[in-house]
Amino acid sequence: MLLLLAAWIWWAFHVSAGATLLDGRRPRLPRWVRNERVQFIAEEVTGCSAKRAYIVSELLDALLPSDASFGHVLRQYLLPAALSGGALLLLAASAPWGAWLKLMTLESHGFETVLGVLCWLALAGIIGTTFRLWEIWIKARRLLVMLDSLPLRAGFRRLEGFSWKPLWRLGLVSMTEFQRILARVREAHKLAANELSSLSADVVDHGRKAVRGIFDELLEVRRPFLPFLGNWHSRRSKELELITEYQKVQADIAAAAGRALDYLAARWEQGEEKPRRRSREEVTEEVADRACEKFVCLVYVSFLLVVLLRMRTLILAVGGMYVLVLLAMTVYPFQPRAAIAALLAMLLVYIIAVVTLVLAQLHRDATLSNLTNTTPGELGSDFWIRATSFAALPLISFLASQFPQVNRLLYSWLEPALQALNK
């Protein structure tokens, strides 16, 4: 029971850690976009055609379902639990060979039922988390395909300083990469505002005031913490004010990105309809195009980093949960052993197949390949390293639980280190 509960604690930690950057402080995509050509890749659109932003809205709902979307949670976790548990109980009760599926222990009937329910819920949780991972990727791929269908894809090729290693190295505590990306977004915003006056009318000034307010609140938060003098409440209040100010900054950046995206869409239409002319005025317009293009692309990159972090936390949740469930099913003499081993083997194949397929499609995506300067449609060494590192621990754990020779070999490698720790 401790191992099964530890599996759910592991799941809860990584799933909640992946949601830390999905509240109001998260990077936002362009807002209040007017041009119909690019409304599909915007977070919010202007006018009565809000349904045209369904690609981003569905992706946001998959990343962090709202409180009102209970059906989303029902479809992801409760439905797999009900289907798997109900089907197994039905077969165990009616089929002649149903005893092969019934989980048996040395405990009393009531405690045996509790253990059986915990085991099936853990398996359903693993299946539900893989469903959620696949759903996030499917909806993120729609956005990536739309980005690749626009001339904006050239802007991703021109971005420098991105590769697969820092993208997958984003830590749950260290946000250095996110801070670097946000700094580049602010710099690109300033350059684009210098070239396009509509970006600096009210957004830039308000953003600077909000940033100055953030630094002032940071100074307040860093004051000495005095728990016995009631300083906790005031410190927490200032932290909430700081979060609110940061949300405004992100909203201002998204609004500016929406204006820049409208400008780029209008320029794309002009470029398709009118022949190119050689003049000094066009050179000035091209500089504005490149500045707005870089700014919009960096806004999308900051959002895609959040999506990748969310997917990585779900992959870690699935892998760790499987290992803990495997240990729980191994250290206790559950029966029938052959059926349990077959079920764990099928679950392992299913997990590795889903995660490997998602990673393969990620590395073959054209937009992400342009961003990381890799060849679209090809699987490089980064993919094989990432896929192998994920599959290694669950696969070795399964082999060690089923074959005593492998278990003894692994223990012989770990025994010197354990003896050194004991000394």
In angstroms, the CA 404 to CA 38 distance is: 59
Q: What is the mean pLDDT of residues 40-65?
A: 77
pLDDT of the residue at 279: 45
Nearest in space to 107 (alpha carbons), one of 330, 324, 401, 333: 333
Q: What residues have CB less than 8 Å from 23, skipping those under 6 apart? A: 64
Q: Does pLDDT of 138 surpass 90?
A: yes
pLDDT of the residue at 204: 53
CB 315 within 8 A of CB 202: no
Q: Does pLDDT of 30 surpass 60?
A: yes
pLDDT tens track for 336-382? 777 778 888 888 999 999 999 999 998 888 888 888 877 888 887 77
pLDDT of the residue at 98: 44
pLDDT of the residue at 97: 44
DSSP assignments along 20-76, one per residue: TTSSTTS-----SB--TTSGGG-SSBSSS-GGGGHHHHHHHHHHS--TT-HHHHIII
Considering the chain, what percentage of its residues have pLDDT values greater than 70? 69
Bond prior to 224 in cis (omega within 30° of 0): no
pLDDT tens track for 163-220? 666 555 555 444 566 677 777 888 888 888 888 777 764 555 566 666 566 666 656 6
Q: What is the mean pLDDT of residues 46-57?
A: 70
pTM of the model as a whole:
0.82
In angstroms, the CA 142 to CA 30 distance is: 16
Query: Over the chain, what is the mean pLDDT?
Result: 76
Q: Does pLDDT of 114 surpass 90?
A: no
pLDDT of the residue at 353: 93
